[in-house]
DNA sequence: AGCACGCCGACT
DNA sequence: GTCGGCGTGCTC
């Protein structure tokens, strides 16, 4: 991860033999350079094919790069060329992956090398394959003569005389790792080279599918079998069995000897999803995300490149793995904004997954209970097919959703649960069932102010309030990580005991519940209490075992969990996501609230969802209460169409940032002056801004935004290239480009 | 991304 | 008088 990697040139030393009249090849390096560099091919190598991974000297170091496709640049004089240092012992990049790199670079206006960097993110995997050693019994060792623990180890090896890893061996023998180590040191065990991991043996049979599932699965299996390019939306409510259906498509790819890639948002918390793959195929899929590091990361990359990984389940970065024979890409929860990478190369993994599938000539499946408007528009245009799963027979059905009008039944002063919601929680707990309260805000209170002088605690690096975290006794900025202790007195007027928390976070809701539902066992789930897959699984088990009565959580609890005893979901502030005028605020609110509501009543008992809102008439609330999703989508689509917004128009953002406010303003003005067209408007496009970004100072950077809004069919990239080339931006400011922005921060 | 070269403050 | 801050520019 991070850092373009120097690698050990397995080949010649770093001297510079003159390159004389030999062939030259373009080599793309994992650096933000404008394009590939030309290199001389040492004598006797032959001409390396495009995609070949090579070690190339650059300045004083040697980098891993890829021989690129297309003609060498040719303008660099022969004498300046340096010879390639070595061919790397790793499979060459495939043509579709090289084309993907070019495609993403062009689309995002990033240097191709910056994109290549994502595809060569595992430097260790590019050098000589790791020789793993395993342990076998030394010759002539007689198990019977050994002490008990050692005898058990010997027995395991006698039973299965293949090389074992030390950890596996200790586990199988039921002894500590020390025993195995001591036996090796004593010469009772010897290390031998272990063969590279064979592909997992996949087996398993399809589960019993409903007729609708079976029909959808058959369509998708056929598409995979025939390698039919094109995308299909697979949608249906929570519990309609979408996963089982796409797993059949995965099974088809595997049966044909091809690989399948399944992209998920934030995989770290989806242990339950991995378990479903295991249940279906009898073996774990290869897993890829940022928390997979070290030897595991290297082995997985290698297994993918060598075709030994039939199924890969991964976060967005898995999109750039070197599959030699990909047969299917699935994007699960395709509406999730986590698929959009914001920093560095700003790409949307869902959209680029469709590109990779297209370039590879294979089918793609987009899966969601609440598809994005982009995807629905593509279905409407006939660009994607659609398979819709109806609600499943025999399931609990969709929960009943009701809005609580806070204007009519407000919470008591200083509290946040309205009487109807509090009553419903009390009844649920009284029946011995579980309830979940959802509030997408960490900490105790989002704002602290002084009752004496009105002072508000603000982050020194960002335009944001500091959030009180009462357990940690700190005021924290959720944008830059700044934290300070809660002071005993107001720093402005010196008054003591005058600081007042304003508004709720999950900690405050938990405090209120402890008071109101004495004796209830409460679990708080937010990124402050749940750190990664392990704790998440722990919480899930506690909830599943009914060791918890009331769950209070942030967005984290909305994701894919199945809690069979949970029958009530209360949304503390259903209006929260609607503030701020974001283009997709309504769509996203609907998706999140629908998803968290889906946690209620999945077993035999009906679920109930209560939404606390000040605006029960808002289209999002009406859609959730009535369940009339189609109408909501139609209204939202009509608004977007009328305004020329995505998915009916295109957007690109230019984000100016600088530690110096004047430089940021100057750069923004320079961009404005250089805007394409007459005064920023032309055939099918218009430039909006500059305006301060919603977080006008973030991590000490002053930020300004300009927005290019264009009709579909306008070559946005061409406009942006010309625009950026024209603009004279002061050095003290930088400009980032975000094509198809998802977030407007 | 590194790494080198190149001009202005606080130390032996 | 030097060590060293990181601003700017180059790497086939």
pLDDT digits (tens, 9 = 90+) for A7-42: 543 333 333 444 445 799 999 999 999 999 999 999
Neighbours of A685 (CB within 10 A): 21
Instruction: Give alpha helix (H) positions in A256-338.
Output: 271-281, 294-305
A61 touches strand C (CB under 7 A): no
Residues 18-37 of A with CB under 7 A from strand C: 31, 33, 37
Query: What pLDDT is stored for residue A154 in this prediction?
Result: 87
Model confidence at A395, pLDDT cuts 50, 70, 90, reads low
Calculate the angstrom distance between C1' of C10 and CA of A403.
Answer: 62
Query: What pLDDT is stored for residue A129 in this prediction?
Result: 67
Query: What pLDDT is stored for residue A12 in this prediction?
Result: 37
Query: What pLDDT is stored for residue A11 in this prediction?
Result: 37
Calculate the angstrom distance between C1' of C1 and CA of A15.
Answer: 39
Instruction: Give the DSSP H/E element, type plus range, for residue A587.
Output: helix A585-597
C-alpha span between A343 and A365 (Å, rounded)? 26
Angle ∠(A174,A288,A219) on CA atoms, nearest 5: 110
C-alpha span between A493 and A451 (Å, rounded)? 10
C-alpha span between A337 and A350 (Å, rounded)? 10
Of the candidates A45, A47, A84, A44, the residue with the CA atom closest to the CA atom of residue A64:
A84
Residue position matching structure tokens 């049979």:
A205
A57 touches strand C (CB under 7 A): yes
Query: What pLDDT is stored for residue A268 in this prediction?
Result: 53
Calculate the angstrom distance between C1' of B4 and CA of A216.
Answer: 61
Q: Are A252 and A259 in contact (CB under 8 A)?
A: no
Model confidence at A458: pLDDT above 50: yes
Query: What pLDDT is stored for residue A424 in this prediction?
Result: 97
C-alpha span between A571 and A586 (Å, rounded)? 16
Q: What is the CA radius of gyration of chain A?
A: 29
A33 touches strand B (CB under 7 A): yes
β pairing state of A286-288 and A311-314: parallel
Cis (ω within 30 of 0) for the bond into A690?
yes
Nucleotides on chain C within 7 angstroms of protein Cβ? 7-8, 10-12
A682 touches strand B (CB under 7 A): no
> Which is higher by pLDDT, A409 or A12?
A409
The mean pLDDT of A566-582, rounded to a whole number, is: 92
Least confident of A42-46, A236-240, A492-496: A236-240
A60 touches strand B (CB under 7 A): yes
The mean pLDDT of A221-244, rounded to a whole number, is: 94
The mean pLDDT of A436-451, rounded to a whole number, is: 96
Q: Are A147 and A63 in contact (CB under 8 A)?
A: no
Calculate the angstrom distance between C1' of B8 and CA of A732.
Answer: 19
Query: What pLDDT is stored for residue A404 in this prediction?
Result: 98
Query: What pLDDT is stored for residue A393 in this prediction?
Result: 61
Query: What pLDDT is stored for residue A603 in this prediction?
Result: 59
A485 touches strand B (CB under 7 A): no
Model confidence at A397: pLDDT above 80: no
Query: What pLDDT is stored for residue A3 in this prediction?
Result: 38
Q: Are A314 and A245 in contact (CB under 8 A)?
A: no
Residue position matching structure tokens 């209620």:
A600
Query: What pLDDT is stored for residue A270 in this prediction?
Result: 67
C-alpha span between A120 and A261 (Å, rounded)? 18
C-alpha span between A706 and A528 (Å, rounded)? 35
Residue position matching structure tokens 């019994």:
A137
C-alpha span between A204 and A284 (Å, rounded)? 12
A381 touches strand B (CB under 7 A): no
Pick out the nucleotide with least CA–C1' distance to A59.
C11
Calculate the angstrom distance between C1' of B10 and CA of A474.
Answer: 37
For the ranges A561-570, A616-625, A690-699, the maximum mean pLDDT occurs at A616-625
Calculate the angstrom distance between C1' of C10 and CA of A35.
Answer: 15
The mean pLDDT of A60-71, rounded to a whole number, is: 93
A59 touches strand B (CB under 7 A): yes
A35 touches strand B (CB under 7 A): no
> Which is higher by pLDDT, A167 or A631?
A631
Residues A129-174 have pLDDT tens digits of 666 778 888 888 887 888 888 988 888 888 877 788 888 888 888 8
Beta bridge partners of A682: A685
Residues A284-330 have pLDDT tens digits of 999 999 888 888 999 999 999 999 999 999 999 999 999 999 999 99
Calculate the angstrom distance between C1' of C10 and CA of A710.
Answer: 37
A294 touches strand B (CB under 7 A): no
Supply A105's token pair. Answer: 């670079």
Model confidence at A271: pLDDT above 80: no
> Which is higher by pLDDT, A159 or A436?
A436
Model confidence at A447: pLDDT above 70: yes
β pairing state of A384-388 and A467-469: unpaired
Calculate the angstrom distance between C1' of B3 and CA of A544.
Answer: 56
Calculate the angstrom distance between C1' of C7 and CA of A59.
Answer: 20
Calculate the angstrom distance between C1' of B9 and CA of A656.
Answer: 32
Average pLDDT, chain A: 90
3-state secondary structure A238-250: CCCCHHHHHHHHH
Query: What pLDDT is stored for residue A156 in this prediction?
Result: 85
Query: What pLDDT is stored for residue A2 in this prediction?
Result: 36
Residues A75-102 have pLDDT tens digits of 888 889 999 999 999 999 999 999 999 9
Model confidence at A416: pLDDT above 90: yes
Pick out the nucleotide with least CA–C1' distance to A58.
C11
A81 touches strand C (CB under 7 A): yes
Calculate the angstrom distance between C1' of B9 and CA of A474.
Answer: 38
A3 touches strand B (CB under 7 A): yes
A34 touches strand B (CB under 7 A): no
C-alpha span between A402 and A381 (Å, rounded)? 34
Query: What pLDDT is stored for residue A15 in this prediction?
Result: 37
A124 touches strand B (CB under 7 A): no
Calculate the angstrom distance between C1' of C6 and CA of A488.
Answer: 40
Residue position matching structure tokens 């409407």:
A380
Query: What pLDDT is stored for residue A396 in this prediction?
Result: 60
Model confidence at A332, pLDDT cuts 50, 70, 90, reads very high
Query: What pLDDT is stored for residue A372 in this prediction?
Result: 98
Calculate the angstrom distance between C1' of C5 and CA of A254.
Answer: 58
A40 touches strand C (CB under 7 A): yes
Crossing angle (nearest 10°) for helices A349-360 and A95-108? 140
Pick out the nucleotide with least CA–C1' distance to A26.
C12
Pick out the nucleotide with least CA–C1' distance to A39.
C12
Half-sphere exposure of A75 (CA within 13 A, CB side): 4
Residue position matching structure tokens 């030309």:
A38
Query: What pLDDT is stored for residue A517 in this prediction?
Result: 95
Calculate the angstrom distance between C1' of B6 and CA of A31.
Answer: 25
Model confidence at A361: pLDDT above 80: yes
Model confidence at A716: pLDDT above 70: yes
Least confident of A54-68, A225-239, A531-545, A717-731: A531-545
Query: What pLDDT is stored for residue A21 in this prediction?
Result: 56
Pick out the nucleotide with least CA–C1' distance to A83.
C12
Supply A200's token pair. Answer: 């997992």
Length of chain A as a residue count: 745
Query: What pLDDT is stored for residue A191 in this prediction?
Result: 86
A513 touches strand C (CB under 7 A): no
Query: What pLDDT is stored for residue A730 in this prediction?
Result: 86
Half-sphere exposure of A118 (CA within 13 A, CB side): 27
Nucleotides on chain B within 7 angstroms of protein Cβ? 1-4
């Amino acid at each position: 991860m991070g850092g373009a990697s120097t690698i050990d040139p397995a080949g010649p030393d770093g001297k510079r033999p003159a390159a004389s009249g030999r062939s030259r090849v373009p080599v793309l390096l994992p650096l933000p350079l404008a394009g590939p560099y030309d290199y001389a091919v040492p004598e006797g190598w032959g001409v390396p094919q495009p995609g070949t991974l090579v070690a190339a000297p650059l300045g004083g170091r040697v980098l891993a790069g890829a021989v690129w496709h297309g003609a060498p640049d040719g303008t660099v004089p022969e004498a300046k060329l340096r010879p390639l240092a070595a061919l790397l012992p790793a499979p060459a990049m495939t043509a579709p992956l090289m084309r993907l790199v070019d495609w993403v670079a062009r689309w995002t206006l990033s240097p191709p090398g910056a994109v290549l960097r994502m595809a060569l993110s595992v430097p260790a995997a590019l050098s000589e394959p790791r020789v793993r050693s395993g342990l076998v019994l030394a010759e002539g060792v007689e198990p019977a003569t050994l002490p008990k623990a050692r005898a058990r180890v010997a027995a395991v090896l006698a039973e299965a005389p293949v090389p074992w890893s030390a950890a596996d061996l200790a586990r199988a023998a039921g002894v500590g790792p020390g025993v195995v180590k001591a036996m090796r040191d004593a010469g009772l065990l010897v290390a031998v080279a272990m063969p590279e991991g064979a592909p997992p043996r996949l087996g398993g049979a399809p589960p019993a599918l409903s007729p609708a599932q079976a029909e959808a699965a058959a369509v998708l299996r056929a598409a995979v079998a025939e390698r039919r390019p094109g995308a299909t939306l697979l949608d249906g409510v929570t519990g309609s069995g979408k996963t089982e259906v796409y797993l059949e498509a995965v099974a088809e790819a595997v049966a044909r000897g091809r690989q399948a890639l399944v992209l998920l948002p934030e995989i770290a918390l989806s242990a339950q999803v991995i378990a479903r793959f295991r249940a279906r195929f009898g073996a774990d899929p290869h897993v890829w995300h940022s928390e997979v590091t070290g030897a595991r990361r290297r082995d997985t990359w290698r297994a993918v490149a060598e075709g030994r990984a039939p199924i890969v389940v991964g976060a967005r970065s898995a999109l750039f793995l070197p599959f030699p024979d990909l047969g299917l890409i699935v994007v699960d929860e395709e509406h999730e904004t986590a698929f959009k990478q914001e920093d560095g190369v700003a790409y949307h993994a869902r959209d680029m997954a469709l590109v990779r599938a297209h370039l590879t000539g294979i089918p793609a499946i987009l899966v969601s209970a609440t598809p994005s408007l982009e995807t629905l528009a593509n279905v409407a245009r006939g660009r994607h097919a659609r398979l819709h799963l109806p609600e499943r027979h025999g399931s609990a059905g969709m929960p009943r959703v009701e809005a609580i009008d806070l204007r009519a039944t407000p919470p008591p002063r200083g509290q946040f649960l309205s009487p109807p919601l509090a009553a419903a929680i009390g009844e649920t707990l009284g029946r011995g069932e579980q309830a979940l309260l959802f509030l997408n805000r960490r900490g105790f209170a989002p704002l602290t102010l002084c009752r004496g002088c009105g002072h508000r605690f603000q982050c020194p690096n960002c335009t944001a309030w500091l959030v009180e975290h009462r357990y940690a006794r700190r005021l924290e900025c959720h944008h830059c990580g700044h934290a300070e202790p809660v002071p005993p007195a107001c720093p402005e007027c010196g008054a003591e005991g005058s600081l007042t928390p304003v508004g709720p976070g999950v900690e405050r809701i938990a405090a209120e519940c402890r008071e109101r539902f004495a004796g209830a066992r409460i679990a708080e789930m937010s990124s402050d209490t749940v750190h990664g897959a392990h704790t998440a699984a722990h919480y899930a088990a506690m909830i599943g075992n009914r060791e918890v009565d009331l769950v209070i959580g942030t967005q984290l609890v909305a994701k894919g969990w199945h809690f069979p005893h949970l029958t009530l979901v209360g949304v503390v502030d259903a209006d929260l996501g609607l503030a701020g005028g974001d283009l997709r605020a309504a769509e996203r609110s609907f998706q999140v609230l629908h998803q968290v509501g889906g946690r209620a009543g999945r077993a035999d008992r009906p679920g109930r969802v209560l939404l606390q809102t000040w605006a029960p008439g808002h289209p999002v609330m009406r859609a959730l209460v009535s369940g009339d999703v189609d109408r909501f989508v139609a209204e939202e689509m009509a608004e977007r169409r009328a305004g020329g917004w995505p998915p009916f128009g295109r957007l690109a953002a230019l984000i100016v940032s600088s530690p110096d406010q004047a430089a940021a303003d100057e750069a923004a003005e320079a961009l404005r002056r250089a805007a394409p067209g007459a005064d920023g408007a032309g055939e099918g496009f218009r430039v909006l801004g500059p305006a301060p970004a919603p977080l006008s100072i973030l991590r000490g950077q002053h930020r300004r935004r300009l927005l290019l809004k264009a009709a579909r069919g306008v070559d946005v990239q061409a406009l942006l290239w010309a625009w950026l080339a024209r603009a004279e931006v002061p050095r003290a400011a930088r400009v980032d480009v975000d094509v198809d922005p998802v977030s407007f921060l």
